[in-house]
Chain A
Amino acid sequence: MVAEKPSKKLFSVTLRVWRQAGPAAAGKFVEYPAANVNPDMSFLELIDVVNDGLTVKGDEPIAFAHDCREGICGTCSCTINGKPHGPGHGIATCQLYMRSFQEGDVITVEPFRAKAFPIQRDLVTDRAAFDKIQQAGGFISVRTGAAPDANAIPVPKEDADLAMDAASCIGCGACVAACKNASAMLFVAAKVSQFGLLPQGQPERDRRVLAMVQTMDEAGFGNCTNQYECSAVCPKNITHDFIARLNRDYVAALFRTRFQPVSNAGGGGG
């Protein structure tokens, strides 16, 4: 817990939380008053405190997803006052502190809402659709063994920087949650670009983008309407320019694979 400083004025808020007993159950908002809120508490710590109170009373605690609590794992996934990860910019829910709120605030907390992210319980959603997309192409195939020499393959600095930007995606799903159409384009764009920008990603480049987009479509995500709600809430500030790059890469892959010369190798050498 955060050490209490005497200069900090404690305050009270009301949490209006989405409670849903299971995937098929009907959900509803339930209000929980929270007194003695320390402004230095994280938002997840506030839920911990409210849950302690619920447990003492014998009520079911609020189920919410969390793990590293330092903004790198992408597990926490609350929509706070309509905005995934809450009012901050470039942070995950676990990095949101109660000083962002004021005495008397009613804070509405909901799960990420998308058909492709079914609610398991309360604020917990199943984001396995992202895993399926990753399994379709979010990797490179390399020989294992001794570590290769550093810088054996030259990579332009600009490409390395961009690939790192894309690779900073933690796969939290806030882009889907914020999108008016629950589209996963920012996530897929980041994962496709992360490899597509580097030499190591070239052998599987076309296959990767086609397979990942197809898996994305099959998972029931919506379509991008270029409103950029996704990048506005991304805890890693990943730019929607990667979506333009994905569009370009996808159409190029379509044409490249379609009009590739057909090899007559593979017939065996007699």
Chain B
Amino acid sequence: MNLLASLFQSSIGKKLLMAFTGLVLFGFVTGHLVGNLQIFLPPEKINAYGLLLESLGGALWLIRLFLLACVVIHIWIAIQLTIENRAARPTGYGVDHTSRATLASRVMARTGIVVLAFLVFHLAHFTIRIGHPEWSEHSYRLASGTAVRDVYTMVVQGFSNVGVSIFYIIAVGLLSYHLSHGIVSMVQSLGLKNERWTRGLEGFAVIYCWGYFLLNAAIPLAILGWLPVLSGLIHR
């Protein structure tokens, strides 16, 4: 088999692709969170950041295409692996026993599906801006005088809807849970793990996932006015 066929068809190749695309998406959601946290700074910051991203032009589209390819490969291989794994045990056990597989590791497909549904909604909502044509207008003037899209107001208005905020919090919660297995698992699949540093890696995954969830959840909660200090940082 040649290299690409081996990667896409062998069991270990597929796991490597899952791990690599997972690593890219893990990096993306981390960067995305850091960008989002600018909502707690004056509107100037996040709107200038939006302009910075859009000024990448063709490069932005290359990055988007690469991320889309990672999402598609991650999902496509996950479906194949799931089908193969189910076929590998046609008759189940009379007694179900689990020694140490975590619940997070056993519901990866289910948490992944909710995250995918959220991703589609999120792109339609904020990137394509369905139902909110006014969000596409250049209605914010930066200190430099440049008129840009008012990302800040877009986020505040978007999360002022309680339903949207609750869906968002559930989705980032499940994404954190997905990552709690994924972070440790991808390191194993890439062949870079041993017992000597597993404990440290697992500790990092727990801290990262709780941090990721709480920081993400803080954004809609602050906008809804439900957080004592952070809500005061939102400019309306």
Chain B binds chain A = yes
Distance, CA A51 to CA B137, complexed state (A): 82
**A249 contacts which chain B residues (CB < 8 A)?**
191
Return the CB mask of B1-18 against A: 1 if under 8 Å, else 0.
Answer: 111001101111111100
Is there an interface contact between A247 and B188, defined as CB atoms closer than 8 Å? yes
User: Chain A: interface secondary structure?
Assistant: mixed
**B141 contacts which chain A residues (CB < 8 A)?**
none
Asked if B92 is at the interface (CB within 8 A of a chain A CB), the reply is yes
Is there an interface contact between A222 and B84, defined as CB atoms closer than 8 Å? yes
Tell me which of B46-54, B66-74, B97-105, B166-174 binds A: B97-105
Is there an interface contact between B195 and A239, defined as CB atoms closer than 8 Å? yes
Given contacts A227-B102, A244-B191, A258-B2, contact A214 B95 (CB under 8 A): no
Interface centre among A29, A116, A178, by most chain B C-beta atoms within 10 angstroms, is: A178
**B190 contacts which chain A residues (CB < 8 A)?**
247-248
Distance, CA A210 to CA B185, complexed state (A): 22
Is there an interface contact between B88 and A232, defined as CB atoms closer than 8 Å? no
Is there an interface contact between B97 and A244, defined as CB atoms closer than 8 Å? no
Asked if B106 is at the interface (CB within 8 A of a chain A CB), the reply is yes
Is there an interface contact between B191 and A226, defined as CB atoms closer than 8 Å? no
Question: Which of the residues A223, A241, A247 comes within 8 Å of B195, measured between beta carbons?
Answer: A241
Is there an interface contact between A217 and B93, defined as CB atoms closer than 8 Å? no
Is there an interface contact between A180 and B3, defined as CB atoms closer than 8 Å? no
Is there an interface contact between B193 and A214, defined as CB atoms closer than 8 Å? no
Chain B residues numbered 9-57 whose CB sits less than 8 Å from any CB in chain A:
9-16
**How far apart are B93's CB and chain A's nearest CB, in angstroms?**
5
Interface size on B, residues (CB 8 A): 46
Is there an interface contact between B11 and A224, defined as CB atoms closer than 8 Å? yes
**B7 contacts which chain A residues (CB < 8 A)?**
254
* Nearest-neighbor residue (CB-CB) of B190 within chain A: A247
Is there an interface contact between A223 and B99, defined as CB atoms closer than 8 Å? no
Return the CB mask of B123-137 against A: 1 if under 8 Å, else 0.
Answer: 000000000000000
Given contacts A221-B88, A243-B188, A258-B2, contact A81 B97 (CB under 8 A): yes
Question: Which of the residues B92, B98, B99, B184 comes within 8 Å of A226, measured between beta carbons?
Answer: B184
* Nearest-neighbor residue (CB-CB) of A216 within chain B: B11
Question: Which of the residues B3, B94, B100, B105 comes within 8 Å of A225, measured between beta carbons?
Answer: B105
**B96 contacts which chain A residues (CB < 8 A)?**
82
Asked if A182 is at the interface (CB within 8 A of a chain B CB), the reply is yes
Question: Which of the residues A115, A246, A250 comes within 8 Å of B90, measured between beta carbons?
Answer: A115
11 pairs, CB–CB < 8 Å, chain A vs chain B: A82-B94, A113-B91, A213-B12, A216-B11, A222-B85, A223-B84, A224-B11, A232-B99, A244-B194, A247-B189, A254-B7
A81-B95, A180-B106, A248-B191 known, 11 other contacts, Cβ within 8 Å: A82-B93, A113-B93, A221-B11, A226-B188, A227-B106, A229-B100, A239-B195, A247-B16, A248-B190, A249-B191, A251-B191
